[in-house]
């Protein structure tokens, strides 16, 4: 769907060359919600603006939907852009136009006839949940509503790709969730490929299937969101994962747990993906003659299922406990680790 080869952008600033995007190669399959995460200055915003050539690439190739974007002349590029929606951190609505006129704008640009335009605008307003606010001006809307107008506007010409440049960064957490749900909804209903730039890991966690971590203009880590979550390699990625999992505290917690709970075996259960859907705890409690005490844990949901760890204290006969542990190891997809055996 989208393939990027050797993409590079160099800014010249007072005779200094600043490489914002450095030799970036990437393939994004159709219908994907692809997240790009990085701290400010990592080049992620430049990257997304290169995709529709709001910034001209210094070198490299971009192909979107079998069309080589980097080879188009300015007229062809204008037409191609009509098939690539984009939403922005600060919404970028025209204050002089009402909600419906804002949404109609890309249709005017594409030369859609008037009646057709009105019909499509109404459709989009219903899709993003703004019915009743058609005649309002942007200044009369909340941030979340403004971004809904932005999304409706971006979808007006039935694009194949939606670029989101920090689309939720100016919104409060609750509104962010609502907007993210809308994006997932659109992705499923319309089969749209979404590329989402953010510095917030929970945004990635909530809606992305694939994630790329950017640092200094390069992608330093990339893959399935769950894989990146469970096995972060680079230190940047680890920091981002900590944003939502707080892994740093875990080390201290384990020693605390060992000190505080002197009895029984302590187990660390790691749930990845579908494992969280299994009724693991109640199942072992029924199958084996043991008692379970949940000490600490955190499970969080991602697009590919849940992910998290649980610390449990197991009391009972040593033999029975061993059988339970091997059952978890062999019969389920939950990873188990014995932190401390019964002495």
Partner 1 sequence: MLTELFPNIKYDDLVEAVYETFYMTIISIIGTCIIGLLLGLLLYLTTKDGIWQNKYINFIVAAFVNIFRAIPFIILILLLFPFTNFLIGTIRGPNAALPALIIGSAPFYGRLVEIALKEVDKGVVEAAKAMGAKTRTIIFRVLIPESMPALVSGLTVTSIALIGYTAMAGAIGAGGLGSYAYYFGFQRRDFDVVFLCTIIIVIIVFIFQFIGDFITNKLDKR
- Name the site residues for partner 1 (rule: CB under 8 A): 52, 54, 77-82, 84, 86, 88, 90, 92-97, 105-106, 108-110, 137-139, 153, 157
Could you tell me the smallest distance in angstroms from the CB atom of residue 93 to partner 1? 7
Nearer to partner 1 (CB atom), residue 88 or residue 327: 88
Any alpha helices (H) in the chain, and if so which ranges? Answer: 44-51, 74-81, 99-109, 114-128, 143-155, 173-190, 201-207, 225-230, 235-245, 248-260, 280-287, 318-331
Contact present, 36 and 206 (Cβ < 8 Å): no
Q: Cα–Cα distance between 295 and 325 in angstroms, integer?
A: 17
Residue 263's nearest CA partner among 316, 321, 322, 212 is 316
Shortest reach from residue 40's CB to partner 1, in Å: 17
Backbone angles phi, psi at 172, to 5 degrees: -75, 165
Which 8-state DSSP code applies to residue 1? -
Distance CA 10, CA 59 (A): 9
Round to whole Å and give the CA distance between 324 and 328: 6
Q: Which is nearer to partner 1, 55 or 320 (CB)?
A: 55
Q: How far is the CB of 133 from partner 1 (least distance, A)?
A: 14
Residue 56: CB minimum distance to partner 1, A: 12
> What is the side-by-side strand order in the sheet with 2-13?
16-28, 2-13, 59-64, 67-68
For partner 1, the closer of residues 198 and 302 by Cβ is: 198
Of 143, 130, 150, 203, which is closest to residue 172 (Cα–Cα)? 143
Matching residue, tokens 């992705």: 187
Q: How far is the CB of 209 from partner 1 (least distance, A)?
A: 24
Three-class secondary structure of residue 274 per DSSP: helix
Query: Closest CB to partner 1 among 32 and 165?
Result: 165
Min dist CB 84 to partner 1, Å, is: 8
3-state secondary structure 142-197: CHHHHHHHHHHHHHCCCCCEEEEECCCCCCCHHHHHHHHHHHHHHHHHHCCEEEEE
Distance CA 141, CA 12 (A): 39
Comparing CB distances to partner 1, the nearer of 99 and 275 is 99
Measured from the CB atom, is 54 or 258 closer to partner 1? 54
* Residue nearer to partner 1 on the CB measure, 53 or 323: 53
Nearer of residues 141 and 328 to partner 1, judged by Cβ: 141
Q: Smallest distance from the beta carbon of 161 to partner 1, in angstroms?
A: 12
> Minimal distance in Å, beta carbon 137 to partner 1?
4
């Amino acid at each position: 769907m989208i393939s990027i080869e050797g993409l590079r952008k160099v800014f010249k600033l007072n005779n200094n060359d600043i490489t914002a995007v450095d030799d970036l190669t990437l393939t994004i399959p159709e219908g994907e919600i692809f997240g790009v995460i990085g701290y400010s200055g990592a080049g992620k915003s430049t990257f997304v603006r290169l995709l529709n050539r709001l910034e001209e690439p210094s070198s490299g190739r971009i192909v979107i939907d079998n069309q080589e974007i980097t080879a188009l002349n300015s007229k062809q590029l204008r037409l191609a852009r009509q098939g690539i929606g984009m939403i922005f951190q600060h919404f970028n609505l025209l204050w002089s136009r009402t909600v419906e006129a804002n949404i109609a704008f890309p249709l005017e640009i594409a030369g859609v006839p008037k009646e057709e335009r009105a019909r499509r605008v109404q459709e989009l307003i219903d899709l993003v949940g703004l019915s009743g606010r058609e005649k309002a001006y942007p200044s009369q809307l909340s941030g979340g509503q403004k971004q809904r107008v932005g999304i409706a506007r971006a979808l007006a010409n039935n694009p194949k790709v939606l670029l989101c440049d920090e689309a939720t960064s100016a919104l409060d957490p609750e509104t962010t969730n609502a907007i993210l749900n809308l994006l997932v909804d659109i992705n499923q209903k319309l089969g749209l490929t979404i590329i989402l730039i953010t510095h917030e890991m929970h945004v990635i966690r909530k809606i992305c299937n694939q994630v790329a971590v950017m640092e200094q203009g390069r992608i330093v880590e990339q893959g399935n969101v769950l894989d990146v979550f469970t096995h972060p390699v680079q230190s940047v990625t680890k920091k981002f994962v900590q944003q939502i999992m707080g892994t740093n505290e875990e080390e201290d917690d384990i020693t605390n747990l060992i000190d505080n709970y002197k009895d029984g075996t302590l187990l660390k259960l790691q749930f990845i993906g579908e494992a969280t859907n299994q009724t693991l705890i109640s199942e072992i409690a029924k199958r084996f003659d043991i008692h379970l005490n949940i000490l600490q844990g955190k499970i969080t949901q991602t697009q590919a299922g849940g992910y998290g760890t649980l610390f449990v204290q197991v009391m009972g006969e040593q033999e029975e406990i061993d059988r339970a542990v091997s059952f978890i190891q062999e019969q389920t997809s939950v990873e188990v680790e014995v932190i401390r055996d019964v002495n």
